[in-house]
Structure formats: structure tokens, C-alpha cells
Structure 1
Amino acid sequence: MTTPNTDAIAHFAGRLRFETDVSDVHADYEAGASGVVVIDTRNDASWQQGHLPHAVHLPTAQIAARAATVIPPGSRVVTYCWGPGCNGATKAALAFAELGYPVKEMLGGFEYWVREGFPVRESTGVNARPADPLTAPATASCGC
């Protein structure tokens, strides 16, 4: 019998406490989960280019000054930025944590939201692109 790797268990449990992914955020949105506020941390030009339909725009530099006016008391915060090559969502999650908010970072960011075929609010309305088969299976769920 092998002994549980307590260091690895603590590491991965910690990641799951503070990270989520686009599929889970989308599932919560579709299920009407209450008390979750998804924050787009990008600048104005990026927001105008497209964003999650239910997201609130709060650039990272404005979190300390505006969070209390944007986030209803008792809410859980999920931050996102462009994608996995950007640590903007991590910086924003840190800013929310420093203010005492329960917070998670959405892995994959806006890029993977779009690549998985989820809806995006653009100037023309809410649209979705076909899912990228490299990020989302044709059967709609990876089952993880």
C-alpha cells in the first residue's frame, strides 16, 4: 500500500480552492448560481472588444478604489484577464484577497472562454464562435 503524498494533496487542494476554469464558470452561469461576481480585469479597449456576457468590468488598477461599490456584500469573486499567457487575473485575485473577498482566478481567461465556444458580448450583441477542437471536445464536455 502506498502512503498518500500529503504535500501533493495540499498543493492540489489549494489550487482547487483558488482556481476555477471556464467550463465551471459557464456551468455556474447556466445553472443560475447566485453570489458569484465575474470580474473582467482588462482595460477599456479590451472590454469593448468583447467580454463574458455576465461579467463586471473592473480593471485591476481600480479594484482597491471601486470594489466595495461593485461587489455586493457576501459575493464570491472570479477574476479573468486575456488568457494563460497573462497574469492579470492573478494580480486582480491578489488585490481582491487583500481586501478580504473570497476569490478565484478563472484559468484560461477570455481566450479559453472564446475557444470553448461560450457566448461573448460584443458591440453587435451576444455571439459565440464554434468551439476549438483543441480545447473543447465536439461532444460538449470533457467530463472532468
Structure 2
Amino acid sequence: MTLTMDTQKAKEYFETKLAFTTGPVELERMMREGGNVNIVDVRAAEDYAEGHIPCAVNLPKDRWSTLEGLRKDKINVVYCYSQVCHLAAAAAFEFASRGYPVMELEGGFRTWKEHEMDIEK
């Protein structure tokens, strides 16, 4: 790990992070209020089938190239398993590179469950 005292880079990083991440409470509020969001679960299809965020579309890594279920007219909120899973960040990077508006659900599905939010099967 590289440590740095560069406060300007830290400021830029966290400003960007705040703009492109959301937590489960905020996401649930956006969904409840009819927010302009499309929820995208990038976990494996088997895990999605066992439970997912309501109305989420499943787009596992082996299908990212299809862009199936993504929306250009909404913010695609992407999530994976947990905070330590980097699939959602990789997916968000890929989808943004292809012109789709994205955010990442911080903490992934694990954090959603820990907050006792609704789960759809």
C-alpha cells in the first residue's frame, strides 16, 4: 500500500466517490419515491435467484458485453456481493465507458441485507 499526504488528490477522490456511490438507505428512498434509478445485480445468476434487491435486473460478468437490462435514461445502480467484492466497481467502469450513467451501491447485497431491506426472489 502506498501512503500519500496529497490532500488535493484525497479531496478529488472523495468528491468523486460521493458523487458515484450510494448506500442502501438512500437507494431504498430513491426507489420508494420513484427515483430515476435502474438496479443492476452483477452477481452470478444462481445468487440472484436466491434473492436480490426488488426490481433488480441480473447482468453477470459473462454477459456484460450484451448491456442487457441497462438504461441510458436512468442511473444504473450497480451492486455485487459485499464491500470487498470489486465486481460492481468493474461493471460500473465498463458500463460508464459505454455511455451508461452509473452509481455503485456501497457495501453490495450484504449491506442491503444487513439493513433489513426488502429482498425479492
Q: Shared fold by TM > 0.5?
A: yes
Pick the structure with greater CA Rg. Answer: 1
1:39-118 aligned at under 5 Å gives the runs 39-65=40-66, 67=67, 69-118=68-117
How many correspondences in the alignment?
A: 115
1:22-37 aligned at under 5 Å gives the runs 22-34=24-36, 36-37=37-38
* Bigger relative contact order (CA 8 A; separation at least 6): 2
Matched, 1:14 2:13: no
On the 8 A contact 1:64/1:99 being kept in 2, the answer is: no
Q: Secondary structure at the match of 1:121?
A: coil
List structure 1 segments (4+ residues) > 6 angstroms apart after TM superposition: none
Instruction: Tell me the TM-score normalized by structure 1.
Output: 0.73
Q: 1:32 to 1:85 in 2, by over 3 A?
A: same
Q: CA RMSD in A?
A: 1.5
Which ranges of structure 2 fall in alignment gaps of 5 or more residues?
1-6
Which ranges of structure 1 fall in alignment gaps of 5 or more residues?
123-144
